[in-house]
Amino acid sequence: MNSDSRIQELFDDFRPMLSDSDLFNQRLERKLALIDEMRQAQSAQIHRARMAVVVAFVAGIVFGGMALFLILSVPSDAPLFTFGIKAFPFLFIEQNSWLISALLASLMIAGCIAAALNTADLLRRLKVGKA
């Protein structure tokens, strides 16, 4: 009990001096400036990420579309490429090169669309978490 009363006396005797300090104001201004810099840096990062998504999406659509156009413009009975090797895996790829190339180009386009949607969702969650 004696220690409780001593602690109570310490708290009762404590009278902090409250003064209008320029040092407090300077620290507060510095911290607010740092917060503004962090917000600007985060918004710049989100802008760069959005631009990267747009560039990747457009590049995937353009290159995938060009690949599909080139693949579909070749006659289907002629192989797109030949290996000159008569082993089964290579012969299978030569005979189905048109179909395999169309499938790969379609997967490239689908991958770009999926990546763009995934990144857009990530940016949306970042923006919601920031607010």
Give the Cβ contact number of residue 65 at 10 Å.
Answer: 13
In order of 3, 51, 79, the CA distances from 93 in angstroms are 88, 37, 9
Task: Report if residue 8 sits inside a domain.
Answer: no
Task: Report if residue 22 sits inside a domain.
Answer: no
Number of domains in the chain: 1
Over 60: is that where the pLDDT of 131 sits?
no
Which tens digit of pLDDT belongs to each residue from 28-42?
A: 889 999 989 988 988
Higher pLDDT, 25 or 131: 25
Task: Report if residue 87 sits inside a domain.
Answer: yes
Tokens of 24: 């407090």
Task: Report if residue 11 sits inside a domain.
Answer: no
d(CA 66, CA 4): 82
Q: How high is the pLDDT of residue 50?
A: 80
Which tens digit of pLDDT belongs to each residue from 58-102?
A: 887 888 788 778 777 777 677 767 777 778 888 888 888 778 877
Give the Cβ contact number of residue 80 at 10 Å.
Answer: 17
**What is the average pLDDT value for the chain, to the nearest integer?**
78
